[in-house]
Structure 1
């Protein structure tokens, strides 16, 4: 069969050109969305009397048959047919005869492909939000189980102040909540219909764009036909959102890799999420977080790649825009794979509480509290800071931690010290002293956990309302 657009041409397309310009090898992933959009379009053509209703019914039945073949893996796609739209249209014509050629009335591949991608990303946005929620729930579960687990908090990867492990994990819950919020907000810009814009200027047929939007569950239609076929902001926004998710997963991955090392020994990842060495039998490697950390770069690359494609394009559609899909598909697969693994990996992670407590007991991370202690006794903070700096140096030189010092040793640095200093220095006291909103005190962490659960419940409701 000749090209569906071939009437104007006197020569066949060079085979190398066909292979170079064809997108079917990757845009076949849009097959279901393409049929979904076509079903709504042909329903509108029949309703508006643009084609006879019996023809619309025939085409709709043919599209459903083609969709069944697609889902069964029985429909062969051909490079010579260029893209998913023309492959499906040829399959339709083969199914129902020449009447299938009426399907394309009142539309262009330009607004058709844009519609397919809106449908695709709308579904994936909800699915990925659901996976983010599952990871949040896994972190919340570990946080609730570790409300009394204390570990060193770090700045510059140096021990800073003791914190609750639950507080640390809830920081990632907060990061993921921002990710969820961005996906939910971007959904509003994904859920807009471009179909009906034609190639760039609309169509001469009396179509009903709002009917199609309603059939497909879109909240509205693009106001401007040029913008409708040119806009890829919604994909850029998705890639940017995904990049931030991967940044957060990469940061968590780095901590899991560090914490599972012998040097830290704070956690142990389940065997199901680790691999071994072909030469060193003792090895247990945290390959999942390492690979997630590595794959972050490819998601960043997909974002930068699309921004670069779009930066100098004139209105409306240009062949350059074919490059909008592979990075989008790759990002969806990469992010989906990472999130599917991360939730059960966190859920099954073993926390080595004793090792964390040992680390807290063998450092100077309670030094700030001694400075605050002296401040409450009337010493200006800057002077207290200097006193404690010299006290810490003394401890280092004498191989003693602060709780190991005698009261006499404390008083040799300041007469303001009294025996209550030992209570102040206890890790539980250090943690619970930070009883401010958002702080690491147990009462504050419990309240934060309750708030996070309520927010997760709202997210679950949003997902349920937007699935399908």
Structure 2
């Protein structure tokens, strides 16, 4: 069968090759240049290429880098992709020896290496935003350690706690998510270079040296896995998704708390928009933006993970160029959400008047009354619970605050216990005060000041450890970049 067609087909060029080329320009050209330089250094150091040839290629690579305006390039179809464009330019300058740079490597190991290089930078930046958020929330939690709020369960007023205690819970989740993301970044720290197409190479490549020059912790060992396993992608986006699933729940609470009917969260004017027609409206729309940004980010993470589903365990385009680039949108929307939440929550305040009104209306301290009856009156908790329930029903029916319900309590106590209570009106008011409720919960993880301070201290320790780990990775990459520059420059020294 005679085939007179010429690559690339115009439709394939416009729908696949040109967009991929633009993606390389935007995300990968600098990483490819680093890989080219590191690979050349390794080839010369191992004797696979002579120093003389290495010097020629180094000079040509350097000139190409200085003389090429990558952003101004347009895809013409003359070369299949950016890799072949660079190789063609090397051969134009050096003749056939320009093709020696590709000795003992493949686009397979190159691609998965540069994908990891881009991902680790984006993921580290996301982790930094998370840690900044955790620090801001910890500061806010300490400042609001004694600020009373109503805690809700099943959408109903449940018990009093403090804003600091609530934030401490969110901080612990955030730090656990940060730990998962940090572990996923560690999963990016293994270099595929040297795996070549599938099975390494017949040349004596130094894979450890390549990993070091590119700022990786070590090589990824199995060469088939280097080009086939995509767990570095699925693991990262799975960890990233959880961040926004969990933060989205906190944001939803902010929407509920700032509603007119609840009103315990005050959003300052700088974060409120007005209605174009209803002058009384204060719309805290940043909450809605954070909620949809969190959902969009989680969805984008799912998109990447699901794209890997039922794909073959081999090198494939399903895990490469376009898919990788599509995933970067998750870092964009996620970064916006993290930055907005870091500004939003510390700026908000708690309306003590609304908290007090909601507490009075809902008898949220009634559990402490039951506890007090167990401690001071010697009742079983079930009997105490029944007396407390009778008291709550009575004061709610009277539309009175619980603190004014001593008479109803005394009647319920005598009916249930068969005797008069020793708890007078003053002791009753103390028992059902929200400040008493919080102070008596001075247990590990509780809202009382000492317990909360200890929890926040632990969070600061965890935060510091995560910053240290991130800093160590960043320092290693910066040191490797300098070491690569020095080693590459030495190739041209006489």
- TM-score, length-scaled by structure 2: 0.85
Partner of 2:139: 141
How many residues were matched structurally?
Answer: 459
- Of the structure 1 ranges 310-319 and 97-106, higher mean CA displacement relative to structure 2 is found in 97-106
- Is 1:418–2:423 an aligned residue pair? yes
Residue 201 of structure 1 aligns to a residue whose secondary structure is: coil
Residue 161 of structure 1 aligns to a residue whose secondary structure is: strand
Residue 76 (structure 1) shift: 1.5
Partner of 1:207: 205
- Of the structure 1 ranges 83-92 and 178-187, higher mean CA displacement relative to structure 2 is found in 83-92
Aligned partners of 2:85 and 2:297: how far apart in 1?
Answer: 29
Label 1:92 to 1:394 Cα distance change in 2 as closer, same or farther (>3 A).
Answer: farther
- Of the structure 1 ranges 307-316 and 324-333, higher mean CA displacement relative to structure 2 is found in 307-316
Partner of 1:429: 436
Partner of 1:3: none
Label 1:269 to 1:98 Cα distance change in 2 as closer, same or farther (>3 A).
Answer: farther
Residue 412 of structure 2 aligns to a residue whose secondary structure is: coil
- Is 1:441–2:440 an aligned residue pair? no
The equivalences for 1:279-318 within 5 A come to 279-318=277-316
- Is 1:25–2:32 an aligned residue pair? no
- Is 1:461–2:458 an aligned residue pair? no
Decide whether the 8 Å contact of 1:21 with 1:82 is kept in 2.
no
- Is 1:329–2:328 an aligned residue pair? yes
Q: 5+ residue gaps in structure 1? A: 1-7
Residue 265 (structure 1) shift: 2.6
CA displacement 1:17-65 (0-9 Å, x = unmatched): 2233322233431222222222211211222222333443444455455
RMSD value over aligned CA atoms? 2.7
Partner of 2:7: 12
Residue 316 of structure 1 aligns to a residue whose secondary structure is: coil
Residue 250 (structure 1) shift: 0.8
Partner of 2:160: 162
- Of the structure 1 ranges 444-453 and 316-325, higher mean CA displacement relative to structure 2 is found in 316-325
The equivalences for 1:31-430 within 5 A come to 31-64=29-62, 74-78=71-75, 80=77, 81-90=79-88, 99-322=97-320, 323-376=322-375, 377-405=377-405, 407-414=406-413, 415-416=420-421, 418-419=423-424, 420-430=427-437
Aligned partners of 1:45 and 1:217: how far apart in 2?
Answer: 18
Decide whether the 8 Å contact of 2:244 with 2:294 is kept in 1.
yes
Aligned partners of 1:318 and 1:449: how far apart in 2?
Answer: 46
Label 1:61 to 1:74 Cα distance change in 2 as closer, same or farther (>3 A).
Answer: farther
Residue 390 (structure 1) shift: 1.9
Partner of 1:452: 459
- Of the structure 1 ranges 407-416 and 356-365, higher mean CA displacement relative to structure 2 is found in 356-365
Aligned partners of 2:156 and 2:53: how far apart in 1?
Answer: 72
Label 1:396 to 1:356 Cα distance change in 2 as closer, same or farther (>3 A).
Answer: closer
Decide whether the 8 Å contact of 2:105 with 2:194 is kept in 1.
yes
Residue 362 of structure 2 aligns to a residue whose secondary structure is: coil
Label 1:79 to 1:372 Cα distance change in 2 as closer, same or farther (>3 A).
Answer: farther
